[in-house]
Structure 1
Amino acid sequence: MNKLNKLSFTALILCIIAFPAGASAESYIVLEGDSFYTIAKDNNLPLTHLQIANERSGFQLKAGETITIPDSVSTENKELMAKLVHAEAKGEPYEGKVAVATVVLNRVDSSKFPDTVKDVIYEKAGGVYAFSPVKNGAINNGYDAEAMKAVNEAVAFRDRGMGSLYFYNPDKVSSDNWIFSRETIKTIGNHRFAK
């Protein structure tokens, strides 16, 4: 196997590990003249998202190299997610805000939930909204810069989270609630994140 093929094969294996089956990303073989900038522009992605997805900080690429192109999330969906993050995680650590946004993306990628950001956020099962800010209208109160930054980070690192599909504040949920039966992955601030 020549050096270029070994490099491409290694990059492909790294993409498979970083973005397992079902992950929202695709592989792309770099063409002569491509750069992170041109690929990001062609795929309607922020440059930093493409660089983060490939664990790179520079701009240069080599023809034949395989990189990962994460799925793009529309500005409208990012704004909706930022409103949810702001309403759900106001006063929580930044890491918790990123984790809340990640839960939304994990649900979009899961076969157990709707396929779009909007449908996940506004999901209503058994007459109950999945997220309390939708029910109480707090989702309509806007968002701040930190909430949008958290959303952008969650999008950039999509599918690199711990697979959490739920989050809750144990102090605000009755102890007999079904959510306590879910496996807790991590606690950040007042929220528990679970599978």
Structure 2
Amino acid sequence: MQDRIIKILKVGIILALNVCIIALAVYSSSHSVNEPASVQALSKVGSRGDEVTKIQTNLKKWGYYAGNIDGIFGSQTEQAVRAFQKKNGLTVDGIAGPKTLEAMGISTGSTSGGSAAASSKDVALLARIISAESRGEPYTGQVAVGACVLNRVKHPSFPNTLAGVVYQPGAFTAITDGQIDQPVADSAKRAAQDALNGWDPSGGAIYYYNPDKTSNKWIRTRPVIKRIGNHLFCS
């Protein structure tokens, strides 16, 4: 009788241990899946896939990347990401994490605070190009420059992200002459917000220029919508 009780106790202990082992395995498995999910919301050297292809496509379009668009995150892609990060005031680590992807206009699939972060970044970038391109212009003219940039984002002939439009090769002299890196005027920050909120003093323009400074013959052929300050705004 005593031996039978001992055997029953042993069986019970073994069963209990097995239950504990199974529970631990399930717990570890769930954490090993969930934890890296946040870590993998980025692309870096060695990464492959559609997200890398989008990164390469955008960086090549903006003049940062000269390699093949092959969906493989190699050293060339890393250097291009670093150059983009430096130009946009991001942490320069060569890793396309959530903030870098947002700046590139690439969705990370995150829903917590994403739109607010993107909105803040849009205001900052738009303010930089407004300040660089229309320093000294009347406030309405600054808003018009911002609206013109945003009109390009919506236009099929231009990149469909703000960063894409701003950094499109040859699009703005402020990028090539370094004015984009100068301190941003407070008025440009307000103008960026007004333009993002829908104010468009340009009348829907997608081009603008200073007739006293440009030697570009093509831009002078564009239909003029209006003049604000020193800028002519065109369709």
The aligned residue for residue 188 of structure 1 is 228
Where relative contact order (Cα < 8 A, 6+ residues apart) is larger, the structure is 1
Shift of 1:173: 1.1
Residue 85 of structure 1 corresponds to 130
Contact kept, 8 Å, 1:133 with 1:139, in 2: the verdict is yes
Structure showing the higher strand proportion among its residues: 1
TM-score, normalised to structure 1's length? Answer: 0.58
The equivalent residue for 1:149 is: 190
1:137 to 2:178 alignment: yes
Q: Tell me, yes or no, if structure 1 residue 115 matches structure 2 residue 160.
A: yes
Residue in structure 2 matched with residue 96 of structure 1 by the alignment: 141
Q: What amino acid sits opposite 2:197 in the alignment?
A: A
Shift, 1:142, TM fit: 2.8
Q: Matched residues in 2 for 1:138 and 1:99: separation?
A: 18
Identity rate, percent? 40
Aligned to 1:59: none
More helix by share: 2
In the alignment, is the contact (CA less than 8 A) between 1:97 and 1:147 conserved in 2?
yes
Q: By how many angstroms is 1:110 displaced?
A: 0.5
Provide the C-alpha distance between the structure 1 equivalents of 2:218 and 2:184, rounded to a whole number of angstroms: 30
CA contact (8 A) 1:73 1:155 kept: no
**1:186 CA drift (Å):** 0.8
SS for the counterpart of 1:171 is coil
Which runs of 5 or more residues in structure 1 are unaligned? Answer: 1-41, 46-71
Tell me which residue corresponds to 1:11.
none
Distance 1:191 1:159 in 2: 14
Secondary structure at the counterpart of residue 212 of structure 2: helix
Q: Deviations over 1:36-90 (max 9, x none)?
A: xxxxxx9957xxxxxxxxxxxxxxxxxxxxxxxxxx9621121111111111111
- If the length of structure 2 is used for normalisation, what is the TM-score? 0.49
SS in 2 for 1:173: coil
**1:129-148: CA deviations, max 9, x gaps?**
10001001110113121101
Asked if the contact 2:205–2:234 (Cα under 8 Å) also holds between the matched residues in 1, the reply is yes
Shift of residue 183, structure 1, vs aligned partner: 0.6
In the TM superposition, what is the alpha-carbon distance from 1:158 to its structure 2 partner? 5.5
Cα distance in structure 1, aligned partners of 2:202 and 2:212:
24
1:168 aligns with 2:213: no
Contact 1:98 1:154 in 2 (8 A): yes
Give 1:100 deviation, angstroms: 0.3
| CA drift at 1:161 | 5.2
Give the gaps of 5 or more residues in structure 2: 1-112
Distance change >3 Å, CA 188–CA 73, structure 1 → 2? farther
Q: How big is each residue's C-alpha offset from its partner over 1:137-177, in whole Å with a ceiling of 9 and x where there is no partner?
A: 11011312110100111111166851100010001112x61
Aligned residues: 123
Give me the whole-angstrom Cα distance separating, in 2, the residues matched to 1:108 and 1:44.
17
